[in-house]
Structure 1
Amino acid sequence: MSMELQGKVAVVTGAASGIGLASAEAMLAAGARVVLVDRDAAALAAVCGRYGAAAIPLVIDLLDATACASLIPQALEAAGQIDILHANAGIYVGGDLVDADTSMIDRMLNLNVNVVMKNVHDVLPHMIGRKTGDIIVTSSLAAHFPTPWEPVYASSKWAIHCFVQTVRRQVFKHGIRVGSISPGPVSSALIADWPPQKLQEAKASNSLLEPGEVAETMMFMLTRRRGMTIRDVVMMPTNFDL
């Protein structure tokens, strides 16, 4: 087993399931200690129980502003350093805009955009001080195409795509790499709210990625030599075409 992340500490948000869980497990397998952040205490306890002391649970509701602000200080207290931040937590709102619940629009934009910006903002002083760090944001194929069945979700990912591009240009001089990974539809709870017809079509045509495939791609990004940045990866099932 390769131990390419031996001695590293990673923080993964939305780590109790889906892409976040696959990401955390991949980094644990590569020798990192991982702070797994999620609001689901039971799911975190179950995951961390399988991995022992290298997996550090941190129960936080990122939509609570005070709790969100405590993420980085708590992670540093628990692990001593942060080498990698995988800003992965997100939710989905699909369907026609006219049918959307506006409170859910607020909730999704807060988690998919504001929380990501705040988490990156909060970790940067630590990484700048150490003159090294990796930040990866889970974006979406929807950030690169005006997806007609999910205008609200796609807009959140377009916003975060711009955020990644601009922040990277600000901080590369400090030895910090910032990139995004933009998968097409992934077999996870996130797409449970897809329009039923679209979900049925994707399943029938084998047009879904697995979380582990996204994690493998993320590991490729993290393990390049420090002088190389994989700034954006767009990945999609071969059978899925917009």
Structure 2
Amino acid sequence: MTDLNGKTAIITGASSGIGAKIAEKLSIQGANVVLAARRKQKLDTIVEHINNTGNGQALGIVTDVSNRSDVEKLVKQATETFGNIDIYVNNAGLMLSSVVQDSKVDDWEDMIDVNIKGVLYGINTVLPNMVERSTGHIVNISSVSGHEVTKVSTVYSATKFAARAISMGLEKELAHTGVRVTNISPGMVDTDLASSRTSKGRKPLLTDDIANAVVYAVTQPDYVNVNEITVRPV
């Protein structure tokens, strides 16, 4: 198991839900964590909690991942505070109206901007330094909707298929560079994002379950690359 003490991780979409729990778990493992999200008040609350209970330091930076300049500022400030970025978790995501016949184009554009462009902006910003140092870990939080499409998930699923495709291609691009890539696809998780969906009688996953998967992937020995984890409710 790799020691995360002194490592630095950026987690997007970290003001609540899965992102907040990932930051908390990585901090418990000793990593310094940089939490990025748009909601400053919620960010501040999570950061204060982590700084009082974790083993690593926490910093919150207000960020809109669909804005390339915001992401670049996020990485710059994180690097100035903690040094090199060792782990980047693309967790920010939107799940809005996805039925094509509903014609909610604005919702589609928002999902594409966050779920696809936001992922690429983060990777693009941290990757050169990781490759130069021959170490680093990109974690993309996709979804089981990136494996399966329902009649009400067309556009959302398309964005999550894209996130998986980015993960799969990037892993091949980065073979033998020392930089690892992990795609994690959660099923139904008990979060605000999924509050409008039903789980057909199944108990939803907890945010801990997804955060534990992230910790598992990033604490493997440096010669082990966990490419794909799918976590579903029973």
Matched residue, 2:49? 50
Matched residue, 2:232? 236
Does the alignment pair 1:6 with 2:5? Answer: yes
Q: Is the 8 A contact 1:3 1:30 kept in 2?
A: no
Aligned to 2:172, the other structure's residue is in SS state: helix
Q: Which runs of 5+ in 1 are unaligned?
A: none
Q: Is the 8 A contact 1:93 1:193 kept in 2?
A: no
Percent of aligned pairs with the same amino acid:
29
TM-score by length of 2: 0.93
Q: Which runs of 5+ in 2 are unaligned?
A: none
C-alpha distance after superposition, 1:50-108 (max 9, x if no partner): 23270111111222332233222122112111110011001002453212421111011
Q: How does 1:173-184 map to 2 (within 5 A)?
A: 173-184=176-187
Q: How does 1:14-33 map to 2 (within 5 A)?
A: 14-33=13-32
Q: Is the 8 A contact 1:9 1:79 kept in 2?
A: yes
Aligned to 2:225, the other structure's residue is in SS state: coil
Aligned to 1:221, the other structure's residue is in SS state: helix
Question: Which amino acid in 2 is paired with 1:35?
Answer: V
Structure 1 residue 4, shift from structure 2 partner: 3.1
Aligned to 1:92, the other structure's residue is in SS state: coil
Q: Is the 8 A contact 2:141 2:185 kept in 1?
A: yes
Question: Which amino acid in 2 is paired with 1:231?
Answer: N
Structure 1 residue 146, shift from structure 2 partner: 2.0
Aligned to 1:190, the other structure's residue is in SS state: coil
CA distance in 1, matches of 2:138, 2:226: 11
TM-score by length of 1: 0.90
Does the alignment pair 1:93 with 2:96? Answer: yes
Structure 1 residue 168, shift from structure 2 partner: 1.0
Q: How many residues align?
A: 230
Does the alignment pair 1:41 with 2:40? Answer: yes
Q: Is the 8 A contact 1:15 1:38 kept in 2?
A: yes
Does the alignment pair 1:108 with 2:104? Answer: no
Aligned to 1:192, the other structure's residue is in SS state: coil
Alignment partner of 1:82 out of 59, 62, 85: 85
Question: Which amino acid in 1 is paired with 2:16?
Answer: S
